[in-house]
Amino acid sequence: MSLFKDGYWWSPDGLRLHYRDYAGGEDGRPPILCLPGLTRNARDFEMLAGRLAGEWRLICPDLRGRAESAYAKDPMTYVPLTYLQDVSRLLADLAISRFVLVGTSLGGVIGMLIAATHPEWLAGTVLNDVGPVIEEKGLDRIRSYVGVGSTHPSWVHAARALEEANRDAFPRYGLDQWLAMAKRLYRLNNAGRIVLDYDMRIADPLRAAGNDAVVDMWPVMPAFGRAPTLVLRGALSDLLSAETAERMGREIGPNAEIATVPDVGHAPALDEPEAIAAIDRLLERVRANG
């Protein structure tokens, strides 16, 4: 029996988008909205949802161009402001006006836009390995692989390819963990090949001329301080530095906790003992706030 129900909604520009809805939270606690990274999808939160569903309701969208959500006609809509518009429509359709945000990488960038525009929506926030400063080394690595199609004859081949590309970020992973990651990131196509489960054109905005303009998100950090906030960082991360994470804690204020997951790079999978403990502490603070 599945832990979730599939749901669908329409974006403002007419795309049919998909989300997973894990039941829970009947005692009035706010739902948890889980927003994935650039090349990821709702499956990235299976482990988190498997642990929390029943007690908490979890809403896990596939952003446009990923997994079961429609691909955009215009690839230049694969940008955070459009994702924010899509997610805002979903929240309106579900009549959700207050929630706990779990944002991994790009999902955390969308979270910063939510904090900038609707901080009252946030009952609590987990920013998973992302902040106002994205290290150039990590950004270069992302640009090097996103939108580069690859196919594999089996799940083991896909897992080995992921291991080759990411072993520095997850040095303790074994084959079972690489296989689990492959099944979150890839899908089986009609030809029986294992392929990446996203529109290759999500890379277009990253490579477009003029895309290097940086919006200063530091002024947004105090908005997170209205509610409990966890800044979670992989100790080996090449995207979020320890210095940036520490400054985020200072800027957010007393409601912030900084937690580091050892032996993990970008980004923690949220099943590590340190991540589990930190998320549980955050959720306890959310419940205490009512």
SS3 144: helix
How far are the Cα atoms of 15, 146, 229, 251, 258 from residue 281, in angstroms, in the given order?
37, 34, 10, 20, 12
Distance CA 35, CA 157 (A): 28
Distance CA 101, CA 56 (A): 12
Q: What is the pLDDT along the chain (290 residues), one digit of tens a residue?
A: 679 999 999 999 999 999 999 999 889 999 999 999 999 999 999 999 999 999 999 999 999 999 999 999 999 999 999 999 999 999 999 999 999 999 999 999 999 999 999 999 999 999 999 999 999 898 888 888 888 888 999 999 999 999 999 999 999 999 999 999 999 999 999 999 999 999 999 999 988 755 555 689 999 999 999 999 999 999 999 999 999 999 999 999 999 999 999 999 999 999 999 999 999 999 999 999 97
- For the chain, the distance separating the N- and C-terminal CA atoms, rounded to the nearest angstrom, is 32
4-135+214-289, CATH topology level: Rossmann fold (3.40.50)
Distance CA 168, CA 163 (A): 9
Task: Provide the token pair at 118.
Answer: 């609707």
Bond into 267 cis (ω within 30) = yes
Task: Provide the token pair at 76.
Answer: 């230049």
Distance CA 154, CA 151 (A): 9
Domain boundaries, the chain: 4-135+214-289
Helix (H) or strand (E) holding 229: strand 229-234
Distance of CA 80 to the CA centre of its chain: 12
- Predicted local confidence at residue 215, as pLDDT: 81
